[in-house]
Amino acid sequence: MTEPRSKARLVILISGRGSNMRSIVEAASKNELAVDIAAVISNRPDAAGLEFAQQAGINTEVIDHKQFDSRERFDSAMAEAIDAYQPDFVILAGFMRILTADFVEHYSGRLLNIHPSLLPKFKGLHTHERAIEAGETEHGASVHFVTAELDDGPVILQARVPVLPDDDADTLAARVLEQEHLLYPAAIQKLVSQQTE
Ligand code: GRF
């Protein structure tokens, strides 16, 4: 018989800066989040977040989407790499690839994303510009389960910020990002504590 695991295992997928990944790693290292981070995987060799993860002693891998001639082949290489770590949850943290329905189905109920809007508002890109243009007085971020429809799965937690009269997309994005860094660890902790109840 295998021993029950004490902590949930995460694999985090990034494409760039990786500041959300960093907030999760830091929350885990301060024991605010009861998880083991098994690996950080990037689809871009130049993702800035890789260096932080390496310095934190986390396994890193690059699976460069440009080396694959179809989305299906890229996704199956990703799934093979991810599954080698046997994660409880797969965390998309600024991972900028559309995933195939097969991939999403394979991780059903354990694939999470953070999106910079109060879903279901402003799915897709340029959310901060669009929130300002729409005259919103409130904006924010959502952590949600990933389903086959883009930015559409059930919301786990949201964080709200005001939209101020002088805001441009950059100032609003910075206010939202600060909240994202609290929101993602909190949403993961919510799921992990449900798992162990
Ligand atoms: C964040 O704003 C996140 O909500 C969106 O992409 C951005 C990623 O930033 N999905 P980072 O790579 O985590 O710094």
What CATH number should be reported for the domain holding residue 16? 3.40.50.170
> Is there a domain that residue 2 lies in?
no
| Contact yes or no for 61/44 (Cβ under 8 A) | no
pLDDT in tens, 30-57: 999 999 999 999 999 999 999 999 999 9
Ligand 1 centroid – CA 197 distance (Å) = 30
What domain range includes position 50?
8-121+141-162+180-196
Give the active site residues.
115
pLDDT tens readout for residues 106-139? 999 999 999 999 999 999 999 999 999 999 999 9
What's the confidence (pLDDT) of residue 3? 56
Q: Considering the domain boundaries, does residue 172 fall inside one?
A: no
Q: What pTM, to 2 d.p., does this model score?
A: 0.96
Q: Which atom of ligand 1 is nearest to the CA of 93?
A: 13
Q: What is the pLDDT of residue 197?
A: 67
Instruction: Please provide the DSSP assignment of 127-169 as one string.
Output: HHHHHHHTT-SEEEEEEEE--SSTT-SPEEEEEEEEPPTT--H
Q: Which of 13, 17, 19, 20 to mutate to test the pocket of ligand 1 (most atoms within 8 A of CB)?
A: 20
54 within a domain of the structure (yes/no)? yes
Specify if 107 maps to a domain: yes
Close Cβ partners of 86 (under 8 Å, ≥ 6 residues apart): 9, 38
